[in-house]
Structures are given as C-alpha cells and as structure tokens.
Amino acid sequence: MALAADRDPHVSWAPDRERRTGVAASVRGVSKRFKKSRILEDISFDVAEGESLVLLGASGSGKTTILRIIAGLEQPDQGRVILHGKDVTDLPARERGVGVIFQAYALFPRMTVEKNIGYGLKIRRLPRKERRETVNRLLKLVQLEEHRKKYPWQLSGGQQQRVAIARTLAYKPQVLLFDEPFGALDAQTRVKLRREIRSLLKQVKVPAVFITHDQEEALELGDRIAVLNDGHLEQIGTPDEVYNQPATEYVATFLGAANLLLGVVTQGCVEIGSARLPAARETARFREGQSVKLVFRPEDICVSQDANLPEGCRRLANGVIEEVNFVGSYERLNVRLDLTHRRQAEHEPPLYQVTINTPERMTGVPIMVTRPKPKGNATRYKAGDRVAVGLTSFSVLPNYTLARQR
C-alpha cells in the first residue's frame, strides 16, 4: 500500500525554521559513561535537512544511547547536541521538539488513534478547530482515516507505527528519531514498511535518524550510514561508500560478508604469500613494507579454470573448490587458496606460505565466493576443481596488531 500523496502544496511537516545551514541536527563530541564502562566516545555527526541517517551497530554499540541523548531523554557527559543551529544540550526533552518513534511505538493505550495524533497539539493548547484540521490531514497522509476511532490494540503493527509517526509529525518535529522501528515486525512486513517509511519521509521532508542492527535495513533506509562499534563511530558515509570502501575491518565484516587476508605493501602491490596483487591506487596511502589487511566481498571474486582471468580482474592466487552451494538467487563456493598461515617470528607481520591443496589435504586459507546464477550456469564447478582466483575490487586497510591503535 503506497502512502497517499499530500495534495495540499502549502502543508509541510518539516519544522518552520529558517534553513540557513542546511544542517538539521548535529552531534558534537558526545561522550557518555555509565559507571566504569564507556558507552559513547567522542561521537560527532551531522544530519542534513531532509536526510535520513542510519546509525548501524550491534546491540551494546551505544546507538540507542545516542538517540536518547538527541531526544533529551539522557544527558551526555561531554559534547553538545545542536538542532537547527540551536544548542539544546541543556534543554529537557519536552522543549526540544524532536519526534521519537519508540521501538514498540509507545502509543497511549487509553487514547484513540485521533487522540494519540492530536496529543502534541492538545498539550500545546491549540484551538480545537486547528487541532482537528491537523489531525485530519495527518490521518489522510498516513491513510488511517477509517481507523480514527480505534484504539492502538485494535491496529496492526504497521498501522500502529503510522500512528506513532503521525503523532510526532503533528507538532512539526525538528528531527524524527526511529528506535529499531521494525524490530517488532515479521520479515515480510518489515520490507514493506521500510519502503513506506522511506517514501513518507521523502514527502514530509523531515530529517530522520534511524537506529538498527540490520545491515540490509540500513542500506535501504539510509541516505547515509554511520557504523558504530563499541561506543565509537567507525565510518560514516553513503551506503555505497560504506559497503564498497569500508574504512575498517569492523565495517567490512558488519555490513555484509567479507573475506580477509593479511599482506604486505610492496612496490604498489599487496604481497600475499607468493602472490602479488597489483593495487597501486589502494596502497597509495601506505608505506613500503607496511602490514595490511586485504578485504574483499564474496561477489567481487572471479574464478576461472584456465589461467586467463576476465578483464578487470586482478589475479590473487590459485585454489581448490571445496564446496558448492546453491542459495536461491546465487551460488556460493568455498575455495581454499594455496596459502597457509605461516608460523611467524615475534614482531614480524603474520604472512602466508605457499601450500598446494589436494582434495585429500585442504590446508589452505578458506574464502567465500558468490556467483550470480547466469555465471553459475555458464560454467559449473564441482568440489575438487582447481581454479585461478582474482579480485575485481577490494580494499586495503592498515593491519593494527592492537585493536585500540587507531
């Protein structure tokens, strides 16, 4: 069900504020501790006017705390929260004018749909007539006109969510904050609702911050994605940037599957065992001999049974196919590269030595390869086939031996 277009051109649900900066909300150097444990460390980001930003992180990464700090439900130990140019760090939640869509929607159970939506206006003591007009317009916008007299428990999850959104839009929020908005719904409804919300947000032009642990959801909902790990910001960028140029190993592995190999920068190449992978652009920021991590996605790997890899594919190593799986829309291959972990001396970067995999002895480093259906049908592989392995794209990350060496 698509959401009704708001036909009245004069109605905007975005806040009536001058947009001099184009920045709707910004979080500046926010830190938060709880007792001895650090929850957030020096988090800074901006949300542009009309933009959707997704805070993506595992549970315990601090993403909910950021949301609560923006909403004013929690105080940061350090740092500021700025909404449309105004520092609101010291303002209580009710004076900030942000709209929070809580995980379970937090609709008022003793109020009907229309009373829930009109609550913010009633609190602001708007005249009854004006309240009714706004509620009617919002009911139309979220297509709940025939449900106006119902109570929250009589609505489906998706309808409840639309009430929750309308309830915040009523008072023209500075920013909408969505706390795991699809957590309580089944998989099919999720996909449908996220498209609905996306188109609704494009209509109302209110900037939004989502928090989620679901990478697929993040890629679909966000104009930009901020990846959080253990209280700090790993990377912030468009879905394309974050997925294809992950800044850290955590980002690479959290957003989708990724293979990881260790190497050393040598003359514009990444040396991995005996293999030399040409990577002039990717290694430009590293010094000669620096220990690096090579990160590449399963779909960026090409395999070939003859020595000639397709155009644009840089040769990595040879390997043996260990397993072939059909996973619906694509095919998954487990490949053992002809490389094994070398026992390394102390202070020496961990590297690989050459090994030859045989069907009896699979000792090489395993990688995961995915191939789209047409490719899988064109050349069929079976376990035990020897192949040449190349990469179409990959990223090179510094290999810190200590996790906190950033």
Partner 1 sequence: MKISAIRHVSGFDVARPVSIGVMLGIMLPLVLLPLLSIFIFGTSKGLGTFWSALVAPDAIFALKLSIVTSFWATLFNVTFGLFAAYVLSRYDFWGRNAVIVTISLPTAIPTAVAGFALLLLWGKYGMIGKFFSERHQVMFTPYAIILANIFVTFPLAFGVIKPVFDTMSRSLEEASATIGATRLQTFWHVTLPSLRGAIVSGALLTFARAVGEFGSTILVSGNLAGRTQTAPLYIYAKFNEGQIEAANAIAIVLALLSFVIFSVLFFARDWLEFETQEA
* Binding residues for partner 1 (CB under 8 A): 71-73, 92-100, 102-104, 106, 108-112, 115, 119-120, 122-124, 149, 151, 167-168, 171
Q: How far is the CB of 100 from partner 1 (least distance, A)?
A: 5
Residues 25 and 70 sit within 8 Å (Cβ to Cβ): yes
CB of 98 to partner 1, least distance (A): 6
For the record, the structure tokens of 301 come out as 């790997």
Whole-angstrom Cα distance, residue 365 to residue 205? 49
Q: What's the CA angle centered on 332, arms 330 and 336, to 5 degrees?
A: 155
Least Å distance between CB 289 and partner 1? 54
Q: Between residues 208 and 265, which has the closer beta carbon with respect to partner 1?
A: 208
Q: CB 228 → partner 1: shortest distance, Å?
A: 22
Question: Which residue number, 98 or 242, has a Cβ lying nearer to partner 1?
Answer: 98
User: Are 396 and 292 contacting, i.e. CB atoms less than 8 angstroms apart?
Assistant: yes
Residue 120 or 273 having the CB closest to partner 1: 120
Q: Report the chain's terminal Cα–Cα distance, integer Å.
A: 47
DSSP per position, 162-176 = HHHHHHHHTT--S-E
- Minimum Å gap between C-beta 118 and partner 1 is 11
Compute the distance between CA of residue 247 and CA of residue 227 in angstroms, rounded to an integer: 10
Nearer to partner 1, 110 or 343 (CB): 110
Least Å distance, CB 280 to partner 1, is 51
Alpha carbon distance 141, 202 (integer Å): 13
Nearer to partner 1, 34 or 108 (CB): 108
Cα distance between residue 349 and residue 372, in whole Å: 36
Find where tokens 């760090």 sit.
89
Q: Hey, what are 151's tokens?
A: 């109570």
Q: With respect to partner 1, which residue has the nearer C-beta, 55 or 302? A: 55
